[in-house]
Amino acid sequence: MKKTNLFQLNILTLIIICLFTSCFSNKKIASFQQINQNSEEKIKYINEIYLIENSDLLQILLGNIDEQSQNQINTLNINGTYKIDNQGMIDFPFIGKIKVIGISKDSLKNKIEELLVENKIAKKPLATIKILNFHVTILGEVNKPGMVNLTDEQITLPELLGLSGDLTVFAKRKNILLIREQNGIRTYKRFSLNDSIMFDSYYFNLRNRDIIYVEPNGIKAFNASQSRSILGFTTGVLTLVVLIMGFTR
């Protein structure tokens, strides 16, 4: 009789545990669900030209200039970094103030090279320009949230998800938030990872200082708000089971 009661109590405990764990199951954890198997589509390349903004930190390195001029530039700016002032300008050696905001890196490169020639600093200078503070941030229900610094100044949404360790099982894949600041305007747009719109260039090709926020689903929200209650209830049930087992011995 005692073995039968013990077996029944073990079954009851197992049922209780299964009921609680089933409450947190979620079958809708796959992304890219609208992509048909063995399908293909033509990629629409959009050549988006990035325009320099006030918050950019520029690195400008010069080549094809004489050693004396190079030494003087290194004395004035040893690492070649330039912070843009409130007027959208940088102070460049031998040239002075140059307006950089609102133009592309190629335009700035050509402008610097032309000015160096005009000022007889070099005959055929070569300027290389990089944005040192190019980064994107991913927050919320991913395994490794945080800021990602990029040296090549480009990253796609799937690449960012990969660097963040992918979404957790508690992520709401149908309500991803993209926060983008451009030309003094901050925009908020939501999209679904299960919709083909995520392959649109606006969402797919991320830009400098973009923020991706992955919202938690209802299960995670319930878990956060009810965790103490569930823990207390579970502890009470297990205590009751132990007491019953003690009386039936």
* 166-216 pLDDT per residue, tens: 999 999 999 999 999 987 889 999 999 988 888 899 999 999 999 999 999
Segment 38-96, tens digit of pLDDT: 666 666 555 567 889 988 999 999 999 888 888 888 788 878 999 999 999 999 988 99
Question: What CATH number did the domain enclosing 126 receive?
Answer: 3.30.1950.10
Say yes or no to pLDDT of 125 above 70: yes
Are residues 182 and 238 both part of a single domain?
no
CA distances from 58 to 12, 53, 83, 116 (A): 66, 10, 6, 18
What's the structural domain count of the chain?
A: 3
Are residues 212 and 139 both part of a single domain?
yes
Are residues 200 and 243 both part of a single domain?
no
Between 2-22 and 218-248, two packed helices, what is the crossing angle to 10 degrees? Answer: 170
Say yes or no to pLDDT of 127 above 60: yes
In a domain, 67, yes or no: yes
**Cα angle vertex 170, ends 164, 173, to 5°?**
75
Instruction: Note down the domain range covering 166.
Output: 135-216
Return the bridge partners of 136, or none: 148
Mean pLDDT of 124-130: 93
In a domain, 37, yes or no: no
Say yes or no to pLDDT of 24 above 50: no
The pLDDT mean for the chain works out to 81
Residues 6+ apart with CB under 8 A from 226: none
Are residues 193 and 235 both part of a single domain?
no
Amino acid at 235: T
Q: How many Cα neighbours within 13 Å face the side chain of 160?
A: 30
CA distances from 118 to 80, 114, 123, 159 (A): 21, 6, 9, 43
At residue 26, the pLDDT reads 44
The answer to whether residues 212 and 178 touch, using CB atoms and an 8 Å cutoff, is yes
Distance of CA 218 to the CA centre of its chain: 23
Are residues 96 and 141 both part of a single domain?
no
In a domain, 35, yes or no: no
Segment 226-245, tens digit of pLDDT: 555 555 566 666 666 555 66
In a domain, 10, yes or no: yes
